[in-house]
Amino acid sequence: MTEYKVIFQPEGKRVKVTSNTTVYEAAKLAGVDFVSICGGKGTCQKCKVQINPDLLQQPLTENEKKALVQDEVSAGIRLACQIKVQKNLVVYIPESSRTGKQRLQVEGIKTPVKLDPMVQKFHIKLSKPTLEDPRSDLDRILDELEKEKRLTELKIKYELLKNIAPLLRNSKWDITVTTWNHDQIIAIEPGNSTNRLFGVSIDIGTTKLAGYLIDMNNGDVIAVNSAMNPQISYGEDIISRINYICSDNQKENSNLLQQILIHKINQIISTLCEKSGVLPNEIYELNAVGNTAMHHIFLNLNPRYLSLAPYTPVVRKGINLTPESLGIEINQTGNIYCLPVIAGYNGSDNVGVILATEIYKRDDVCLALDIGTNTEVVLGNKDQMLVCSCASGPAFEGASIKHGMRAASGAIERVQINPETLQCDYQTIDNAPPRGICGSAIVDIMAEMLKVGIIDVTGKMNKSLDSSSLHKADDGYEYILAEANETTIGNNITITQKDIRQITLAKAAMHTGSVILMEELGVTENDIDKVFIAGAFGNYIDVENARFIGMYPEIEISKVEIVGNAAGTGARMTLLSKKMRTIAENLVKNQIKYIELASKESFQNIYLNSTYIPYADLSKYPATSSLLRELGKFPTKLPHMF
């Protein structure tokens, strides 16, 4: 087969590919970081690249025709996934098509937990064998642990037996034994090493990975590290990744997506160790939370049926397994624990949220939203908890929005609109020149546009307004946040009418989840005593603006608490407490009820009503209604109720 050379600019990365490889595939091979939401199917329209049009005769595909405006086409902008390499090419990747360095949310609420880790250490001194006392090496250890530490019926990992004979003799019969669950010996070390007892918890998000190194002797988080989920280049959302796995070569694809994830987790562990001076061998347990798809891919379980009704997971309860069976680089006789998942679309991350917020032991009714590509909602208290998952999509993470981007340097993160000039003030991450808009600004811009009348409660832009910030571009009306000359991308940064629709659908999905759970539990806004906002961008959003646009029902702002990465907190709690692990398993088995939104009769109507900003039934938003009235923006014609 003929091979062609593709050079990616501005870095100059080179790769040789066979003819008919797509530019998108070539970019992945070359290791160029690259946005891909749909995994190369041509539907997300994000993978824009620039190629000299004189050198590229290939006509526009249907997908490209939909995605590109005339100016872009003239400038040689194409979709990388649509172009097949048929000659040597130089490809320029604009800033806006890059994944970029991320601001990753890793901090979470600090929920105290009584220390009782599954992994414990015991220092013992043994007597030497004699002809009168020729007990086996293991019996000597077991007898002493029984006598001194009241540990009975301990099992031992076979691998440890291979080395104990020389270890006991070299250590002069003075050793530290590490146990798991008080019933199994998982490590034996010379001398007294009881002060070195570490664990790692990992939050496996669709987009990001966060790792926490914990000193299990005191519960302190001694190092934190995070990274992008490297599976992103195989699809930004869960469905794309499952589709990728379940295409040809399922076994190979499944192994690949597992292995790149585990490789990255090992890098996180290695960095945690470097930061803290802890050795990987001193980490005796790792526990992991994530949505059910991430959970299945991490464990290399078949994810196919997660994406097909009735969305059945392979396994729900918690799983213990060896580091070796996954290739995780901690102490090889240690343990990996994956928290239980709730349902096909409700993972162990949500179990973590329930543990961290302690909803499971509260008398008052609580609502929790863990906002992400999928938003998990919990409603209830110690008696019962209803949960659901809302397909909120990636809009709040910056994807599917024309100038959306992740919370990285240069992202616009805060926005205010001057009600007189309708011009925009913004703040960017690191105060860098703007290159896009991230989630927190997306919330702000929606609220602000409604407040100043750029949009109405239906989300429609008011085309009659006279402002230089509003104009009609090739692909429709848009509001300009930053002029081309202020930005690093050489273009205006805008919010389009289409973007507003995407954002509205996203918030409508979340809102529908909360409303249906309230219906199911038979409570109203007034019955809810506490709202927890968790998730990747939770720490950065303006909760009032979020409520104003109807991301969640109108509950008193004083009741709203931002809890950050609560899933991670929950994971850490189970690392530190055997009891928390039992609680997690019991909750999933007996107390958490998963509600499949799509199966509810009222779903369609509530969803349509939720596509108004904040909601079709404004009587449910009295405070918001007042403010709109005050600003003269209350609709003259009330929204249609479905």
Long-range contacts of 96-99 (CB under 8 A, 24+ apart): 96/48, 96/403, 96/405, 96/435, 96/436, 96/489, 97/34, 97/35, 97/46, 97/47, 97/48, 97/49, 98/33, 98/34, 98/35, 99/33, 99/34, 99/35, 99/228, 99/232, 99/406
Alpha-carbon distance of 344 to 232, in angstroms, equals: 20
State in angstroms the smallest separation of the CB of 241 from its own copies: 16
Nearer to its own copies, 81 or 342 (CB): 342
Q: How far is the CB of 410 from its own copies (least distance, A)?
A: 42
587 DSSP assignment = I
Burial class (CB in 10 A: 0-12, 13-18, 19+), 4: middle
Q: Closest CB to its own copies among 163 and 270? A: 163
Among candidate residues 578, 64, 591, the one with its CA nearest the CA of residue 378: 591
Contacts of 609 (CB under 8 A, 6+ apart): 615, 616, 617, 639, 641, 642
Compute the least distance from the CB of residue 520 to its own copies, in Å. 15
User: Which residue, 290 or 550, is less far from its own copies as judged by CB?
Assistant: 290
Binding footprint of its own copies on the chain (CB under 8 A): 129-139, 156, 158-159, 161-166, 169, 299-302, 304-305, 309-317, 319, 321, 325, 341, 343-344, 594, 596, 598-599
Nearest distance in Å: CB 288, its own copies:
13
Give the residue with the Cβ less far from its own copies, 530 or 593.
Answer: 593
Q: Shortest gap between Cβ of 630 and its own copies (angstroms)?
A: 45
Least distance (Å) from its own copies to the CB of residue 116?
21
Structure tokens at 205: 């998000």
Among 89, 97, 127, CA closest to 34: 97
Residue of 113, 81, 555 lying closest to 364 (CA atoms): 555
On whether the CB atoms of residues 580 and 574 are closer than 8 A, the answer is yes
Nearer to its own copies, 139 or 486 (CB): 139
Cβ proximity to its own copies, 593 vs 633, nearer residue: 593
Decide whether 7 or 301 has the Cβ nearer to its own copies. Answer: 301
Number of H helices and number of E strands within the chain? 17, 27
Map residue 365 onto helix, strand or coil: strand
- Residue 193 CB, shortest distance to its own copies, in Å, is 21
CA–CA–CA angle 430, 432, 437 (5° rounding): 90
Residue number with CB closer to its own copies (66 or 169): 169
Q: CB of residue 247 vs its own copies: minimum separation in angstroms?
A: 15
CA distance 384 to 283: 36
Q: Which residue do the tokens 């009348």 mark?
A: 453
Q: Which is nearer to its own copies, 313 or 352 (CB)?
A: 313
Residue 285 phi, psi (nearest 5): -150, 145
User: Do the beta carbons of residue 26 and residue 85 sit within 8 Å?
Assistant: yes
Q: How far apart are CA 158 and CA 174, in angstroms?
A: 21
* Minimum distance, C-beta of residue 303 to its own copies, in the bound complex (Å): 9
Report, in Å, the least distance between residue 534 CB and its own copies: 24
Nearer to its own copies among residue 257 and residue 341 (C-beta): 341
Work out how close the CB of 348 gets to its own copies at its nearest, in angstroms, rounded to a whole number: 13
Question: Cα separation of 291 and 169, whole Å?
Answer: 47
Tell the smallest beta-carbon distance from residue 128 to its own copies (Å).
9
Closest CA to 407 of 228, 534, 531: 228
Query: Is the CB of 316 or the CB of 414 nearer to its own copies?
Result: 316
Q: Judged by CB, which is closer to its own copies: 134, or 522?
A: 134
Token pair recorded at residue 640:
């249609």
Cis peptide before 310 (omega within 30 of 0): yes
